[in-house]
Amino acid sequence: MLPNSARTFVLRALLPMLLAGAAAAAPDPRIADLAAAQKQPLLDSLAQLVAIESGSRDLEGLEKLSNLIAAKFKALGGEVELIDPSAEAYRMEDTPEQLGRVVRATFKGTGQKKILLIAHMDTVYTQGMLARQPFRIDGDKAYGLGIADDKQGIAVILHIVSMLQQMKFKDYGTLTVLINGDEEISSPGARGLITRMGAEHDAVMSFEGAYVKDDKLSLATAGIASVTLNVTGKASHAGSAPERGVNALYELSHQILQMRDLSDPATGLKMNWTISKSGSNRNVIPASATAGADVRVLKVSDYDRIEQQVNERVKKQLIPEAKVELKFERRRPPLEATDASRALAAHAQQIYKDELGLPLGADDKAAGGGTDAAFAALKTKAPVIERFGLQGFGAHSADAEYVLVDSIAPRLYLGTRLIMDIALGKTGH
């Protein structure tokens, strides 16, 4: 006999199908029972995770949080490692010298399939901001800094693993959990590890949060890059001796104008100059000037094309005496939709519809910001899917970030069922 809370969840899930007369499968009672029972424990975990400030540059907070996460997965029987990714970091202009640690928890099973679950522990917030938005529950919303992006992802993974352990399900070969601490600064340290781990697994499930208004999985996201131009000239009096100077602003303007037409709407490639700065005084020929451009791509191959184009254009100078330096940084690759990802997403949608009576989208058109799932997909043909986390809203907002409490049981059910089906070879890949 299921407890009342579990029966309520099952009946609520079945009701839309019954009313529609759908000939659909009932939820697996073991998983439904556990998913309902895990609701409060997951909220308790969220309260603990949110209570530790963990901005991407807050090494003390990240160390404390990574220790807590490691202890939780170790208590579930995982082989847990704390990895410092700083040494192999891809250094960008804003990359700190020391980066937050990665928690890797490995669970060995008796089967063949290798499944990777990823999320991140760092947030965009700085120390002291938590006091203005501590963890709280208001109706169907649980609030807190970083709760939607992405501490809910950690909690969902943690309790999915707990459910699998309680059912004594070990038909996977390896279940690996990877939680990094540098996602919000473009994962300079963890990206290499995530890419290698993605290539070693048969499926990757990423637990960034889903949307409140449009609940859907994500199979594609845009890649993000940046272009920085630094021009060095020579200062001189703008009134009495401008000819003795080398005007860095003129050269910068020339470079921006000759690179203004590199966007390609047909392929979704976008390059837009967005920031610039030059000079110090009105009456001084500027000796330095800088500008930055935002780049978005839908295919990894477009990075090579746009980088080659800007490097060719920059050679054509207006003022030969000026020194022009260009830096192209690949902040994040795009996540490209594949047939394997579409097939696994369709299987997830079927579970959600047939067993829970809930709609679930699966968007294979690039939308939203960058994702660590894109690094996981770089070197693999296996399915990689984003947004298995709770429905939420207000990421990066500082005053309105929340997740929907009612999405906890359905998401736990979906994640657990899908892992089991992947392990048992029931997803068609």
Active site residues: 122, 183
User: How many helices (H) and strands (E) would you count in the chain?
Assistant: 11, 17
Look-up of token digits 């390896």: 174
Q: State yes or no: cis peptide before 150, omega within 30 of 0.
A: yes
Count of other CB atoms within 10 angstroms of residue 91: 11
Handedness of CA 78, 83, 89, 93 (dihedral sign): positive
Cβ neighbors of 138 (< 8 A, separation 6 or more) are: none
User: How far apart are the C-alpha atoms of 351 and 349, rounded to whole Å?
Assistant: 5
**Identity of residue 377:** A
Q: Which two tokens stand for residue 415?
A: 């994640």
The SS3 assignment for 252 reads: helix
Q: Is residue 54 within a helix (H) or strand (E), and if so which, with residue range?
A: none
Count of other CB atoms within 10 angstroms of residue 129: 16
**Alpha-helix runs per DSSP H in 102-185:** 152-166
Three-state DSSP string of 333-353: CCECCCHHHHHHHHHHHHHHH
**Distance of alpha carbon 68 from its chain centroid, rounded?**
21
Q: Which two tokens stand for residue 332?
A: 């994040």
Q: Is residue 215 within a helix (H) or strand (E), and if so which, with residue range?
A: none
**Distance of alpha carbon 146 from its chain centroid, rounded?**
13
